[in-house]
Structure formats: C-alpha cells, structure tokens
Structure 1
Amino acid sequence: MSQTRVINGPHLRTPRTTRNVMMHVTISLIPALLGAIYYFGIQALYLSGLSVAVCVLTEYIWQKITKKQVTAGDFSAVVTGLLLAFNMPVTVPVWALVAADVFSILVVKQMFGGIGNNFVNPALMGRLLVMVAWPAAVMQYVVPRTVSVDAVSAATILGTAKSGAETGYSYLQMFLGEMPGAMGETSKLLLLIGFAYMCYKKIVNAEAAVTYIGTVTILTFIFGPDGLFTGDILLNLFGGGLIMGGCYMLTDYAFASRKGKLIYAAVAGIITAAIRIFSVYPEGICFGILTANCMAGMLSVLYKKHVYGMKKKEA
C-alpha cells in the first residue's frame, strides 16, 4: 500500500489582524471627521456617531440571533458606518441613514458570510440604495459654514459644471473642503492626510488608488466634453469624491497580486470616467467601483497567478 507524503507549505505569520487593520483605517478617517464637523457643524458628528452605532449594533444583533461568532468589535462595522456617513450630505434624514446602515451590514455584509465574503463594498451599496430609492434624501447639499455666501443649499461642484454654469469655487477651496458636498468627501487635504497614515502603516495599496484616480482624470481630460472636464484636471480631481473613492472606497483586497489590483483599479477608473463623460450623473464613483466589485471574478482570468514553489512557466 503506497503512502502519501504530506508536506506542509510555508506559512507567513504576522501580528496584523482584521481588528488591527480596521482600527488604523478608523484612525485615518478622524481628520476627515473633524473637517466635517468644522465645515458643516455638530450635526456631522451626531450623524457619524449614529451611523457607527447602528452598524455595530446591527452586526452584533444579527450574529447573536444566528449564533455566529460576534465580530462587532473588530472595527469593520465602525469603518462602514463612518464611510456611509461621509458619503451623505449633512441634511440626510436620520431614517435614510439608518436604512442605509442596516442594509449595508445586514444584507450586503452578513448575509454573504461577513467580512471578507461580501463581494461589493457595503458602504457604497448603502449609499446606492438611498440614492436610487430616495434620491431627494441625499441630493440636498449645503454650503459649508466657512463660505460667505447667501445660499444655504447648492449643487455639487461637478453637478454645476456639468450643467454648464460657473462653479464659483477656486481650486484651493475645493482642495481644502470649502464647497458643497457630502460630509466627509469635501476636504481632499484631510482625506490625503488619512491616506498617508494608512500608507505609513502599510495597510493600503497606494498603487491601486493612484491607478484609479489617474485613469479617471486622464480619460475625462482627453474625452470629456468641452466646458466640463477637458483641460481642467484639477476640477475633475478636487471637485467631487474622486479622492475619497480612490483612497477609501476602492476595495482591492480581492486580489493578491499587484497586477490583479492594478487591472481592477484601472477597470473601475474606466467605468467611472465613462459615467462622468456620457451619463447624466456628474460623479460615477459609486457605479464605477461597485461594477468593478462585481467583475472581480471575471477580471481574475486576465492574469495568471504564480503558484509559490513552481516555476512561472509551470504555474
């Protein structure tokens, strides 16, 4: 009787855990949270806190009911709650935000097996739900308190630009966050500070973020209609949620290889740019990244992984 020899493969050990990673992501979002409070008032803090509480509580209750391991303390629900709040205007009704929170955690995340098993970004799906079901609830943007204007509500920079009107805001104002928009996406400076922290902690793939942002800006620069994006890279870069999407919403953990991550980011960028150029929507980030999420399985066949311990021609 022949015997089968089992050889254990090498294992990489690291102190990094899901809780550790998500805790650092939460820390990286603090500058943007402080910016939201500064620009839009204490209501931004209330909504962000509520969103986090609902996400964590929903995850805890579901795992208790289904008798699964409780992971509500791993900070992943905290990150989802913050990102959901950051993608909403400060005028969002509480019920709409709560509905997005419950949907993101319960349907998108937990019903697919929890963290690591959901095939799309839960926060973006929650945003999409509210945007499609109750568009008026997430389209009422306000001008930051630091901007001296008479208007209280206003369209986003990209929405104004796409309509052919003058934006009325300088590039510096867009970069700092002194413009109408969602609570956490307006200040590009604070988002980049948080992103730099994640890069320092080596918990994010900077190449994927740069690829996504670069793809969108280059394509809209070349093919965008006159008067909107053509010749105005800074408007396209700072006028919307592109920095937020590339640095925080682009989920690239589905791919282990560098090539796979870059292909995924480029495809998301192409879809986002196409929506910005050809559709009635001025942003396209939500649709672009979510579509790339759904295409992850198909995209994985575009490259061949190298199996550890084998020559590349045999892999």
Structure 2
Amino acid sequence: MSEARVINGPHIRTQRTTRAVMMDVAISLVPVLLGAIYYFGIRALYLAGLSVAVCVLTEYIWQKLAKKPVTAGDFSAVVTGLLLVFNMPVTVPLWVLVAADVFSILLVKQMFGGLGNNFVNPALMGRLLVMVAWPQAVMQYVVPKTVSVDAVSAATILGSVKGGNTPEYSYLQMFLGEMPGAMGETSKLLLLVGFGYLCYKGVVNAEAAFTYIATVTVLTFIFGPEGLFTGDILLNLFGGGLIMGGCYMLTDYVFVSRRGKLLYAATAGVITAAIRIFSVYPEGICFGILTANCMAGMLSLLYKKHVYGIRKIKA
C-alpha cells in the first residue's frame, strides 16, 4: 500500500516578463508589417494601426469598467491586433476589422480571465468570426503592387489550385510574397526572419512549429487528391498561410513538456491537412489550430507528466 506525500517543489525563476515576451513578438512582426506595406500599399499600415489601437483600447476600457488590474500595456493586445490584421486582406472594411478586434479581446480573451486563461487563440477566433459572419470581407484578395499596378482581385493560390487551375506564380514569388493573400501571410521570407528572431530570444518552441508544418506538408503530399496537392511539397508549403500559422498562430504554451507540445502540434497538423484534402476550404489552418486548442485538455490525458514535489512512499 502506498500514499502520496506532498513536499516543497522547485520553482524556476526568470527575469523574463510577459511584457518582455510580447514585446519581442511585436518586434518580430515588424518585418512582416513592412512587407505588407511594400506589397499592398500604405493602407496596410493604417489597418495595422487601427487594429492595434482598437485591441489595446478595448482591453483598457473593459479592465477599467470591471475594476480589474489594467494589463493593456503588456503588449499582448498589440500582438493580437497585429496577428488579426495580418490574417485579413488589405481590402477588409474598417468596421469588420474593428468588430473582429473587439470580439477577440473582449469575448475570447477577457471573458475567460485574460492572458493565459483564454483556451483558444484570440486572433484566430476573430478571423473565424469574420469568415462565418462576413465571408466576402475576407475572401477578396488583391494582387500585390509588385505584380500588378492595378488593384486586381484574385483568388489565393491554394484556392485557385483547388478549383482546378494551374498555379500562376513561381515558387520564388510564393516565398517572397508576390502573390494574392492576407497581408501578413504572403511573404514567407519575412515571416521566417521574424521567427528566427523569436528563436534567438528563446520565446517560441521551434520544434512545435516544425512539427506542425511538417505534418501538414507530408500528409497533403501523400494523401492529397491527384493533381491537387500530391507531389508538390513547395506548393503546400509556400502557397498559403502554413508558415504564418506554424510560426505565429500555433499556441504551444498550453503544454509545459516537450512531448505535450509536439503531440499538440501534430494534432493541429493532422486536422489542418484533413481540411485541406477533404473539405471545400483550401487552407484549414484556422480550424486546425483552434480545434487543437479545444482538445488540449484531452490531449494532456494521453501521457503522464512528472509532478515535481510529489513522490510515492510505501506505508
């Protein structure tokens, strides 16, 4: 017969604060913002400024009204505002962006207790809201200014391929960002530059991001319909927002252990790949990551975690 005895556990202390971490994430997104301005014009800057301002003000006003500690200055709302606008086309109406910002901060983040308590990614939920309520607002993409001087509407590359068309852009154009898409997802080069900075600062888990991206790429390569995704790894990798999702939208803080993070990332990857292959949606990143967010509790039951400070002794 044995019993569990609780003893004092170790505590890992660090000088890294939430504000410092979120500031690093915001800094890493600066190249992406500059790329959005270069490819889609000055309106991208205006939209980014509006999104950040609405997110910060929403968090500040709510915390003041609810008489809670004000954390609007910890840069987490800034990051949410940037990630949300980067998941939108440059043609998104201002009121739609504002509605998504308020929904993300107020209902998804603050109503569940604020940063660290929300169980899904606020920016992705804001994107999902717009996809469901106003789909035309986020489905009208324009060709970058470097490709066409006119604001020509076009489908995303994955959407075009899924419709039976041949890709009109080279792999290099996809990698650099010279293709239609959301403001922050087109340039893989700039996304990787920012992600490299986060890896250098030790903010993100590179293994989880790689696991997610590799899972989607491999599964779509093997099981994708003939002539659609099969045999074209670079199209799967560069043709949509996969790198944006893996490097910035995949919230891996829900698990502490390395094993849990990889399991979570792989699950999100499997769901994303399944949506890309079997559904009418060409992407699946939003649904894949959000579903994995909701499954975090169940996934944590699939492996045993060592609890520091507890050991079994025999009576």
TM-score relative to the length of structure 2: 0.96
Percent of paired sites with the same residue:
85
* CA deviation vs aligned residue, 1:272-312 (integer Å, no higher than 9, x gap): 00000000000000000000000000000011101225679
> Aligned partners of 2:179 and 2:7: how far apart in 1?
60
After superposition, the Cα gap between the structure-2 partners of 1:99 and 1:199, relative to the gap in structure 1 and judged at 3 Å, is same
Deviates more, 1:285-294 or 1:299-308: 299-308
| Aligned counterparts, 1:114-193, within 5 A | 114-148=114-148, 152-193=152-193
| Structure 2 counterpart of 1:194 | 194
| Aligned counterparts, 1:1-20, within 5 A | 8-20=8-20
Segments of 5+ residues of structure 1 without an aligned counterpart are none
| Aligned counterparts, 1:1-315, within 5 A | 8-148=8-148, 152-309=152-309
After superposition, the Cα gap between the structure-2 partners of 1:203 and 1:282, relative to the gap in structure 1 and judged at 3 Å, is same
> Aligned partners of 1:82 and 1:120: how far apart in 2?
17
After superposition, the Cα gap between the structure-2 partners of 1:149 and 1:226, relative to the gap in structure 1 and judged at 3 Å, is farther
Any idea what SS the aligned residue of 1:50 has?
helix
Deviates more, 1:302-311 or 1:67-76: 302-311
| 1:226, distance to aligned residue in structure 2 (A) | 1.1
After superposition, the Cα gap between the structure-2 partners of 1:309 and 1:220, relative to the gap in structure 1 and judged at 3 Å, is same
* CA deviation vs aligned residue, 1:57-99 (integer Å, no higher than 9, x gap): 0000000000000000000000000000000000000000000
Segments of 5+ residues of structure 2 without an aligned counterpart are none
After superposition, the Cα gap between the structure-2 partners of 1:150 and 1:110, relative to the gap in structure 1 and judged at 3 Å, is closer
Q: Which amino acid aligns with 1:178?
A: E
Conservation of the 8 A alpha-carbon contact between 1:108 and 1:120: yes
Q: Which amino acid aligns with 2:248?
A: Y
| 1:238, distance to aligned residue in structure 2 (A) | 0.2
| 1:166, distance to aligned residue in structure 2 (A) | 1.4
| 1:11, distance to aligned residue in structure 2 (A) | 1.6
> Aligned partners of 1:313 and 1:159: how far apart in 2?
59
> Aligned partners of 2:157 and 2:237: how far apart in 1?
11
> Aligned partners of 2:54 and 2:150: how far apart in 1?
35
Q: Which amino acid aligns with 2:166?
A: E
Q: CA RMSD in A?
A: 1.7
Q: Which amino acid aligns with 2:294?
A: C
> Aligned partners of 1:311 and 1:261: how far apart in 2?
25
Aligned length: 310
Conservation of the 8 A alpha-carbon contact between 2:88 and 2:138: yes
| 1:269, distance to aligned residue in structure 2 (A) | 0.2
> Aligned partners of 2:115 and 2:175: how far apart in 1?
33
| 1:149, distance to aligned residue in structure 2 (A) | 7.4
* CA deviation vs aligned residue, 1:123-146 (integer Å, no higher than 9, x gap): 000000000000001111000000
After superposition, the Cα gap between the structure-2 partners of 1:94 and 1:148, relative to the gap in structure 1 and judged at 3 Å, is closer
Q: Which amino acid aligns with 2:165?
A: A
> Aligned partners of 1:143 and 1:108: how far apart in 2?
32
Q: Which amino acid aligns with 1:294?
A: C
> Aligned partners of 2:104 and 2:183: how far apart in 1?
19
| 1:313, distance to aligned residue in structure 2 (A) | 12
After superposition, the Cα gap between the structure-2 partners of 1:159 and 1:312, relative to the gap in structure 1 and judged at 3 Å, is farther
Conservation of the 8 A alpha-carbon contact between 1:306 and 1:312: no
Q: Which amino acid aligns with 2:99?
A: A
After superposition, the Cα gap between the structure-2 partners of 1:261 and 1:102, relative to the gap in structure 1 and judged at 3 Å, is same
Conservation of the 8 A alpha-carbon contact between 2:10 and 2:309: no
> Aligned partners of 2:52 and 2:60: how far apart in 1?
12
After superposition, the Cα gap between the structure-2 partners of 1:90 and 1:127, relative to the gap in structure 1 and judged at 3 Å, is same
> Aligned partners of 1:313 and 1:151: how far apart in 2?
71
> Aligned partners of 1:138 and 1:125: how far apart in 2?
14
| 1:8, distance to aligned residue in structure 2 (A) | 3.7
Q: Which amino acid aligns with 2:164?
A: G
Conservation of the 8 A alpha-carbon contact between 2:43 and 2:90: yes
Any idea what SS the aligned residue of 2:10 has?
coil
Any idea what SS the aligned residue of 1:253 has?
coil
